[in-house]
Structure 1
Amino acid sequence: MNQRIIGGISRLALAVAGIAAGGLFGAGAANAAGFFIQEQSVTGLGRAFAGGAAAADDASTIFFNPAGMTFLKQGEAQFGGSLLIPDSRLTDKGSTIDYPAFRTPRGIFDPPPGRISGESKSNNPYDATLVPHGYVAVPVPSTDNRLWVGIGVGAPFGLESRYDGNWFGRYDATKTQLLVYNVSPTVAYRVNDWLSIGGGIDISYAWAKLESHVPNPVGALLPAYDEDGKLTIKGESWAVGYNIGAIVQPVEGTRLGVHFRSGVDHRLDGSAELKGIAFPPLPGLPPTADFNTGGTAKLNLPPMVTFGIRQEITPQIALLGGVTWYGWSSFKEIRVKREDGGADLVNTQRYQDTVGLSIGGEYYWNEDLTLRAGFQYDPTPTKSGYRSSRTPDGDRYWLSAGVSYNVMENMSVDFGYTHVFMDAHKLDADRDFYVGTPLETRVSYDASNSSSVDIVALGLRYRF
């Protein structure tokens, strides 16, 4: 085999091994609206991901538009990570619980809803979390840099939060872990001087664990039985999606890009367990509501379409802009189907499609130093009446800055910082328990939310 090909494959294999080791390090609180994690590039973060579908300035183009690999000057390996530092507080404004109290047809023993016991303000449920990523892009020998192959590893979706067990929102969530890892082999081809195309396969692994409390429906009448039960749902899944893109360069200095990422439909296999619910020895009541069973749940990750532009104003200044459509309406509910034949466990979400906007710029100070800045508007897909404390979301406004410096001829260090301002959207959802039985209990949430996020990112690029 040609020695150049052997060398290229060897470098790619070694780099991929390094990415795989780092890519499983962690994923945490989502920092785009919903639970999408945009932080898949340090240089992109510095400009608030403006023009990502057209920027094509480093190997992270594998995620944002693989067609951009053909614009790289040489093969490149890139490794980086973003430290996500969210802060979120939920404050009770009148949340209630409506116990059945052994309702009679005339409602004689049906008291009105009461306030939920517990702390009226949540702790910050998020820890600072590192989200890593890695990419390798290599030109195929003897193709005059027209054909490229690459691979990327990252965590594009995720959420991790933990609330105190005695807070007022415990019947909605106490612990959430959603980790989605993605491995994407890609290919790109330069068709002619003005058109490049590319695409890849997204091999996706998802793991989820959701915990919450469940009220004892007889607790209102019998204080000895007012202890909450604890519900735990967990599962994992492998699934496959794809992404395709194109970049057009009609004139020197102008690039237009479009990128489509398919939705990925996971079917999580796992278990559901409720423990801690005991009933008094009364006629018609079972001794407990506890169960432990296998189960399945769907997780439909949204499709996305991104348009981007990069325009050189002068040899030292480039402006970038982007528009992204998120197909969040695919995420309608969390429904766990129990293998024991019990009623489905359902948590309605009803996300809606959104469109995000971003603008940014780069200033090439000299051959070694590049400065960046950007702004992004990222609307929430959550709807009034269905918001959850698992994703206490609101419209997000990003302010970003970044810098890259060539520490040597073939090596660059990248740094980025972002502060995300979030609108204070209310948590105003209902949660129903023991549905379809005389013990049916409803929890109605009314809470205010105050949130923000800081992001610090550092990366290293090596060109070969």
Structure 2
Amino acid sequence: MINTKMVRPLIALVLLALAGQANAGGLYLYELGTEDLGLANAGSAARAQDASTIASNPAGMTRLQGNQMVIGAQLLYGDLEYELNDSNLNGPGNIVGWLPGSSLFYSHSVSDDLKLGMALYGNFGLSMSFDDNWSGHNLVKDATLMGLTLQPSLAYRMSNKWSIGAGLGINYGIFSLTRDKLAVFGGDEVELDDTDIAPNVKVGVLFEPSARTRLGLTYTSKVDYNFDVDANGTLPTGRAWSLPINAMLDAPQQIMFSAVQVLNDHWSLLGELGWQDWSTLSEMEITVGPVTQTSRLDLQDTWHGALGVQYQLTADTRLNFGVAYDTSMYDDQDNISFVLPSGAAWRFGTGVQRQLSERSSLGVAFEYLLMEDGKAVNPEVLAGSYDNPQMYFISVNYSYRF
């Protein structure tokens, strides 16, 4: 375990700049500030139109000419207000608000068939800020889990139809939990912080049966974070309660299948199906000193589906439209954890990509996410609901070919 107390504020700022909050498909984040945002991620494992393919399918680098770089930046606003059932208690209000995000990708051509790549992005995490005066302030006031991934990758074209790729994810995670020691407002705070580095792998295949058709398949393995934190807190009634933070500690394995079909010189159709293995995280153990605790949530695997279109308006301008749906990681949406707000979600994206010169392009995109309501029944004194939760994303990306 790594002790970073002296650099924790700097690390937190870096991670907040590179990862946002995810509330659909469990805690995975599809939005990385790239062109995919305007497509609601449709076709991400087969699109391979710029260096950001390293994150979605490293095999796609074989379609890129020369050396390419993509810089992505995004801003999200989350409207997730937790309303307590007991009107005599103070609720936490909107627990998300504004969060920045960014990413960086670089693809290098060793030859026409062999490509090397490097990516820096954050696509897993949860960041919540509860009002200081809410009734559960001595259980949780602020909670953050962020994962930052550095991913060296390579891709090789085996034939004019088949390409393979792989990346090693070096995942740096930080967990932070702040709460008051006592039920008295304005008292001393308890701050729990820890970090961990955990590896995983991403492998992908790209199949191009014709010049107009591309199929992509990507597998991403599980990330096992190991944070040494204490989940025990105190309820407003004075009774001890253990936060179900264990489900925040790992990123499960996932599979993504994408397709792109070029219809004519102007229109392309994009589709995607995905699966994430959240059910394996229903019961997990966490060790705090000599004590090992087990927590359980009724989690299920999630499924992702997306459809999108690209319209080549002019030789220099491309328009994107997409819609996606993700199922909930909860088996019962009437029994969720208030510190893990998630549910089935619809995404609606649109964007425009403009070629500035022979070597550079600039894109902007917007996405609206509408999530399913959720109710938390435990602990009973803090029972409440997330009604009509929504998120808004806006991104800018810049691509340059060297």
TM-score range, shorter chain: 0.7 to 0.9
Question: What is the Cα-based RMSD across aligned positions, in Å?
Answer: 3.1
Change (3 A) 1:326 1:316: same
Unpaired segments of 5 or more residues in structure 1?
1-20, 95-115, 217-224, 280-288, 290-295, 432-441
Q: What's 1:155 paired with?
A: 122
Matched, 1:90 2:82: yes
Q: Kindly report which structure 2 residues correspond to 1:335-354, keeping only aligned pairs within 5 A, or say none.
A: 335-339=285-289, 341=290, 344=292, 347-354=295-302
In 2, Cα distance between equivalents of 1:166 and 1:118: 10
AA in 1 matched with 2:360? M
Q: Kindly report which structure 2 residues correspond to 1:213-292, keeping only aligned pairs within 5 A, or say none.
A: 232-269=191-228
CA offset at residue 335 of structure 1? Answer: 4.7
In 1, Cα distance between equivalents of 2:375 and 2:266: 45
- 8 Å contact kept, 1:420–1:454: yes
CA offset at residue 228 of structure 1? Answer: 9.4
In 1, Cα distance between equivalents of 2:297 and 2:190: 19
Q: What's 2:279 paired with?
A: 329
Q: Kindly report which structure 2 residues correspond to 1:46-65, keeping only aligned pairs within 5 A, or say none.
A: 46-65=38-57
Could you give the per-residue CA deviations for residues 132-165 of structure 1, whole angstroms, max 9, x where no partner exists?
101000110xx3x101000100011111111113
Change (3 A) 1:33 1:174: farther
Q: What's 2:368 paired with?
A: 419
Q: Kindly report which structure 2 residues correspond to 1:179-190, keeping only aligned pairs within 5 A, or say none.
A: 179-190=146-157
Change (3 A) 1:297 1:256: closer
CA offset at residue 24 of structure 1? Answer: 7.3
Identical counterparts, % of pairs: 27
Q: What's 2:338 paired with?
A: 389
CA offset at residue 37 of structure 1? Answer: 1.5
Matched, 1:197 2:146: no
In 2, Cα distance between equivalents of 1:77 and 1:173: 41
| TM-score normalised by structure 1 residue count | 0.75
AA in 2 matched with 1:406? Q
AA in 2 matched with 1:125? I
AA in 1 matched with 2:222? G
CA offset at residue 387 of structure 1? Answer: 1.6
Change (3 A) 1:455 1:236: same
Matched, 1:167 2:134: yes
Unpaired segments of 5 or more residues in structure 2?
1-12, 241-245
Residue aligned with 2:375, SS: coil
Matched, 1:128 2:93: no
AA in 2 matched with 1:325? W
Partner of residue 377 from structure 1, selected from 305, 325, 345: 325
Q: Kindly report which structure 2 residues correspond to 1:131-146, keeping only aligned pairs within 5 A, or say none.
A: 131-140=101-110, 143=111, 145-146=112-113
Residue aligned with 1:408, SS: coil
Change (3 A) 1:230 1:329: farther
- 8 Å contact kept, 2:18–2:148: no
Q: What's 2:389 paired with?
A: 451
| TM-score normalised by structure 2 residue count | 0.86
AA in 2 matched with 1:329? S
Could you give the per-residue CA deviations for residues 205-237 of structure 1, whole angstroms, max 9, x where no partner exists?
110012356887xxxxxxxx9999966433211
In 2, Cα distance between equivalents of 1:276 and 1:404: 50
In 2, Cα distance between equivalents of 1:23 and 1:300: 17
- 8 Å contact kept, 1:233–1:273: no
In 2, Cα distance between equivalents of 1:127 and 1:354: 25
CA offset at residue 173 of structure 1? Answer: 3.5
Change (3 A) 1:335 1:209: farther
Partner of residue 89 from structure 2, selected from 114, 118, 136: 118
Partner of residue 268 from structure 2, selected from 318, 321, 328: 318
In 2, Cα distance between equivalents of 1:117 and 1:23: 37
In 2, Cα distance between equivalents of 1:354 and 1:346: 23
Residue aligned with 2:279, SS: helix
Residue aligned with 2:389, SS: strand
AA in 2 matched with 1:311? Q
AA in 1 matched with 2:206? I
Q: What's 1:106 paired with?
A: none
Change (3 A) 1:453 1:91: same
Change (3 A) 1:229 1:345: farther
Q: What's 1:101 paired with?
A: none
In 1, Cα distance between equivalents of 2:268 and 2:160: 21
Residue aligned with 1:137, SS: strand
Residue aligned with 2:227, SS: strand
Q: Kindly report which structure 2 residues correspond to 1:26-41, keeping only aligned pairs within 5 A, or say none.
A: 26-41=18-33
Change (3 A) 1:356 1:450: same
AA in 2 matched with 1:322? E
Q: Kindly report which structure 2 residues correspond to 1:299-310, keeping only aligned pairs within 5 A, or say none.
A: 299-310=249-260
Equivalenced residues, count: 383
- 8 Å contact kept, 1:239–1:266: yes
Deviates most, 386-395 or 303-312 = 386-395
Q: What's 1:68 paired with?
A: 60
CA offset at residue 41 of structure 1? Answer: 4.6
> Which structure has the bigger radius of gyration?
1
- 8 Å contact kept, 2:16–2:101: no
CA offset at residue 419 of structure 1? Answer: 0.7
Q: What's 1:362 paired with?
A: 310
In 2, Cα distance between equivalents of 1:347 and 1:231: 22
